[in-house]
Amino acid sequence: YIAAGSFEDAAEAQQVATQLSGFGKTEIQRSEFEGKDWYSVNLYPDGHGSLDDMLQAAWSHGAPDALVVRN
């Protein structure tokens, strides 16, 4: 899957997830770090594109630090 990024602002995370929703299944996970809430956006394949395509999409749709996570 693609770890698109972590954001302090929930609205920014939602905006990135919305922009990426056409490229696969998006998920936002909330976590707390040093007393602050962080929102991580992940993009999962839906059978229509490769991880490379999804990574390129993330880079060009508001997630320039996105990276591939292999389980």
Helix, strand or coil, per DSSP, at residue 45: coil
User: What is the C-alpha to C-alpha distance for residues 9 and 50, in angstroms, rounded to an integer?
Assistant: 29
- pLDDT, one tens digit per residue, over 9-35 is 999 999 999 999 999 999 999 999 999
- Contact, 9 vs 39, CB < 8 A? yes
End-to-end CA distance of the chain: 8
56 touches 68 (CB < 8 A) = no
Instruction: Read off the pLDDT of residues 59-70 as tens digits, 9 standing for 90 and up.
Output: 999 899 999 999
What are the structural domains of the chain?
2-68 (3.30.70)
H-type helices in 21-65, by residue range?
Answer: 51-60
